[in-house]
Structure 1
Amino acid sequence: MKCVELYAGAGGLAMGVHLAGFEPQAVVEWDKWACDTIRENGVCGYPLVAGWNVHEGDVRAFDWESIGEGIDLLAGGPPCQPFSVGGKHKAHDDSRDMFPATVDIVRRLRPRAFIVENVKGLTRSSFANYYQYILLQLTFPEVGKRNSEDWLSHFHRLQKEKASGKAIGNGLTYNVVPTLVNAADYGIPQKRERVFVVGFRADQEVEWSFPKATHSFDALLYDQFVSGEYWKRHGIKQLPIPEKHISRIRKLGMFPPDTLPWKTVRDALVGLPDPESTMAKIFPDHRFQDGAKVYPGHTGSPLDLPAKTLKAGGHGVPGGENMLVREDGSVRYFTVREAARIQTFPDGYRFHGSWTETMRQLGNAVPVMLGRIVAASVAEKLALAQMQQLASTPVKAKGVA
């Protein structure tokens, strides 16, 4: 199946989509450093990105007519700064808002499905109307904004369109499913909450829901403080039971959870030596970065929980979160390789640029394995829809004109 990747960054979502069986026809990203990361891995023969058709530039300037027809999936994460808690919260007034461009590309390519990822901040109450506006535009991409309309007027017209029911089946429409997801619930060693908006073209007649969570905090507590398997696995002495979870752990002893345990920072870093040791040199991108400090609101990630959300950038607010809390309570920055592990990039994948630049790429990335999980569930539905359509197509008998 064929796909197109927008706002590819360092390739996290694109790699996940490729692992799910899609072949990228174009991978578009405006940032030079991120493009260099993908290109250099391709040149080195890294299998997941070898041969990718990488285009450095604005998606609005790309020649979409060159792609042709028959795109099965469009995937991408439009820049999140307009909606990020750490941003200026301008939404539609922010020049970096690329949702209008995304809708336009959906209209042009008419993919059978799309996956759009963005920050949790998109669902904030202050953006409620604009969030619904985005969903309606993706539902009816051909009902475009008129020259005389502002976004609110267009929003109201789209609402009327949906209420009337006339647009359904009379043009390009999508069945859109938005879901707020915590990556830790899917085996990613990071508490990273993101919005996924998945749409299937209406003529595919697909009923889809987000994959069921496979991991949980309760299962981690059980693994650590009921069975004790967590500590045995890592060959260390069990830590004291946290007082605030004592009653919860007692209940788990009677009613064990049916999910897998959340993966922790310690789980993610298995096999990586301390970055200040001589052994660290054999791992690419695993160099110690000095200067980590704790300050109010920025205390780093404990070893025995999933990491806090990695943020784009180095020092300051992002860097204050991109830290590991050592067993003695001191802190240090995650190395690029450690951050890549937390974002489930494979060890053979290298990053281009300085520590600050590569941490920005990683902070903006979609975890590779979360992308694979979502894309695989979409691929399954698309394959089934294709089989059903083929089965219902009449076959002409031989010799019949």
Structure 2
Amino acid sequence: MNGPGTQVQHLDGIRVLDLFAGPGGLDVAAHFLGYKSIGIEWDRNACETRYAAGLATIHADVSVMRKNRFDEIPRSVEVLAGGPPCQSFSVAGKGAGLQALERVKQFIRRLVHGESEAEIDEDLHNLGDPRTALVLEPLRWLIKAIETEDREPYKAIVLEQVPTVLPLWEVYAEVLRSGEGRLNGHKYEAECWVLRTEQFGVPQTRTRAVLVARRPGLGAVVRPTATHLPFDRHRGDRRKADPRIFGVERPWISMAEALESASELDGSPVDASRLRTNGSMEFFVISNYGSGGDPKNRGRRDSSEPAFTVTGKVSRNKVYRNKADFEANEPDRFTIPESGVLQTFPHNFPWSGKDQAQQVGNAVPPRLGMHVLSNALRGEAPLTEELRAAATWPAVPPATAEELRAIGCGDQSRCPPESHKVSPVRRRSAP
């Protein structure tokens, strides 16, 4: 079952390492661009989705892998990618990382210039939210590769986070360009930007801070070219904006367009008919979040507009087919496959495990990932046929999923503590 031959088959030729991989947003993007990837993910449920999708995975803590199991990463890896957990930096979270932004900038420089990692870790621990330290992990992985014999520095680096992290990516770019300290003279061309997902064909509004870096000789790093108009909720007739202003011809993709297209594919679990009234798809969505900071003022989007940012609470958004449903307080909800489509996952992506809504919301939208990865690895936008193919995920035999599970969780003692603990079944007392 999981002999050496199986290991080689699944791990041979891997070029992309995805830290904090989640259910596979960047891995899905890499797949449709023709690159094999492997992801490190600590959440067991996300790992179950990855196994079902045929994605090579190590169920582990990113820090533990770097410190104790670095030799298990295939030597064919050339690209370091990842999106460290964003809760401490997000405006939706408590903002511990946001408050400590200036100190974290100092940690980046201290790490590069060789200060004691034990002291840096102690200072990071004192920030309060342990997730804040994880934003340093990609840099630590790069340094580890540089300082490890028989390893080469990564040829390209792709990182994404919430927009508030842009100042940290700017410091990352600064030190990567310098090649100083523990980078041992290895310099990178590096740039970072805030990108709006709807401008890259994602049917939702979401902004991400993205860093792209690559070794000199691979071409200058330039901002990915937008393919669609930005969405402006304050503009009256939103589809009549002059595209010449933005240099593109296509409007953003609406919820209705995305769900209709997905429902027309063979074997699709997306059923657009349930969202139609008299044959017309004109539903509207009431957000789970307040608008303008007022929790009572729920935002509203029509089906002709992009979705709100898809979060782990996406299943709480209320979907109404018409005014009558709204007045009767009879809302529908987006299903997991529908939520995945709004994130640009393939319509038939095999969501598995528990907390699937959270998995969907935590993921990088694969279509954005395709644009960013293609920009980083090839210096150009993904091909039209690659984007078209990304609508459907290839079938994965159950045997393949089991082989990948054996690789990722074969020795459960090496998985994150308590992650495979099964709660005892309570026995009912005899009557």
TM range (shorter): 0.5 to 0.7
Which residue does 2:7 correspond to in 1?
none
Letter in 1 for 2:319: L
Which residue does 2:365 correspond to in 1?
367
1:197: how far off?
A: 0.5
Which residue does 2:311 correspond to in 1?
311
1:344-364: CA deviations, max 9, x gaps?
11122121234xx11111111
Which residue does 2:393 correspond to in 1?
none
- Which residue among 100, 119, 123 is the counterpart of 2:136? 100
Would the aligned equivalents of 2:170 and 2:192 in 1 still touch at CA under 8 Å?
Answer: no
Q: Over aligned residues, Cα RMSD in angstroms?
A: 3.4
Note closer, same or farther for the CA distance 1:107–1:324 as it changes in structure 2 (3 Å cut): farther
* TM-score, normalised by the number of residues in structure 2: 0.61
1:191: how far off?
A: 0.6
Would the aligned equivalents of 1:119 and 1:195 in 2 still touch at CA under 8 Å?
Answer: yes
Would the aligned equivalents of 2:314 and 2:334 in 1 still touch at CA under 8 Å?
Answer: no
Note closer, same or farther for the CA distance 1:375–1:133 as it changes in structure 2 (3 Å cut): closer
- SS at 2:140's partner residue? helix
Note closer, same or farther for the CA distance 1:269–1:143 as it changes in structure 2 (3 Å cut): same
Would the aligned equivalents of 1:137 and 1:143 in 2 still touch at CA under 8 Å?
Answer: no
1:343: how far off?
A: 0.6
Note closer, same or farther for the CA distance 1:214–1:31 as it changes in structure 2 (3 Å cut): same
Distance 2:206 2:258 in 1: 15
- SS at 1:296's partner residue? strand
1:367: how far off?
A: 0.8
Note closer, same or farther for the CA distance 1:6–1:173 as it changes in structure 2 (3 Å cut): same
Which residue does 1:14 correspond to in 2?
27
- SS at 1:116's partner residue? strand
- Which residue among 88, 112, 132 is the counterpart of 1:82? 88
* TM-score, normalised by the number of residues in structure 1: 0.66
1:263: how far off?
A: 0.4
Q: Does 1:27 align with 2:39?
A: yes
- SS at 1:108's partner residue? helix
Equivalenced residues, count: 299
1:68: how far off?
A: 5.1
1:321-378: CA deviations, max 9, x gaps?
x443533273433211110110111122121234xx1111111111111111211222
Letter in 2 for 1:195: A
1:18: how far off?
A: 2.1
Would the aligned equivalents of 2:202 and 2:253 in 1 still touch at CA under 8 Å?
Answer: yes
Distance 1:55 1:362 in 2: 19
Note closer, same or farther for the CA distance 1:216–1:32 as it changes in structure 2 (3 Å cut): same
1:289-348: CA deviations, max 9, x gaps?
xx9898624335321100010112367xxx3xx443533273433211110110111122
Q: Does 1:192 align with 2:228?
A: no
Note closer, same or farther for the CA distance 1:184–1:55 as it changes in structure 2 (3 Å cut): same
Which residue does 2:322 correspond to in 1?
327
Would the aligned equivalents of 2:29 and 2:369 in 1 still touch at CA under 8 Å?
Answer: yes
- Which residue among 45, 57, 62 is the counterpart of 1:59? 62
Letter in 1 for 2:185: G
Note closer, same or farther for the CA distance 1:266–1:99 as it changes in structure 2 (3 Å cut): same
Q: Does 1:338 align with 2:338?
A: yes
Letter in 2 for 1:21: G
Distance 1:247 1:104 in 2: 44
Which residue does 1:261 correspond to in 2?
251
Distance 2:321 2:289 in 1: 13
1:142: how far off?
A: 6.2
- SS at 2:219's partner residue? coil
Would the aligned equivalents of 1:106 and 1:141 in 2 still touch at CA under 8 Å?
Answer: no
Distance 1:68 1:368 in 2: 23
Would the aligned equivalents of 2:169 and 2:211 in 1 still touch at CA under 8 Å?
Answer: no
1:89: how far off?
A: 1.2
1:136: how far off?
A: 3.7
Would the aligned equivalents of 1:299 and 1:323 in 2 still touch at CA under 8 Å?
Answer: no
Would the aligned equivalents of 1:104 and 1:141 in 2 still touch at CA under 8 Å?
Answer: no
1:193-231: CA deviations, max 9, x gaps?
1111111123x352021221111158xx9xxxxxxxxxx
Write the mapping of 1:2-401 to structure 2, written as runs, cut at 5 A.
Answer: 2-24=15-37, 26-42=38-54, 49=55, 52=56, 54-62=57-65, 63-67=69-73, 69-91=75-97, 92=104, 93=127, 94-97=129-132, 98-109=134-145, 110-123=153-166, 128=167, 130=168, 132-139=170-177, 143=181, 171-202=185-216, 204-217=217-230, 245=236, 249=240, 252=242, 258-270=248-260, 271=263, 272-273=270-271, 296-313=296-313, 319=316, 322-328=317-323, 330=326, 331-354=331-354, 357-381=355-379
Unaligned runs of 5+ in 2: 1-13, 98-103, 105-126, 146-152, 264-269, 276-286, 381-431
1:103-144: CA deviations, max 9, x gaps?
111222321001101112324xxxx4x554444455457635
Distance 2:238 2:258 in 1: 28
Letter in 1 for 2:130: S
Unaligned runs of 5+ in 1: 43-48, 145-166, 222-241, 278-290, 383-401
Distance 1:67 1:308 in 2: 37
Note closer, same or farther for the CA distance 1:209–1:11 as it changes in structure 2 (3 Å cut): same
Would the aligned equivalents of 2:307 and 2:342 in 1 still touch at CA under 8 Å?
Answer: yes
Would the aligned equivalents of 1:215 and 1:259 in 2 still touch at CA under 8 Å?
Answer: yes
Note closer, same or farther for the CA distance 1:75–1:253 as it changes in structure 2 (3 Å cut): closer
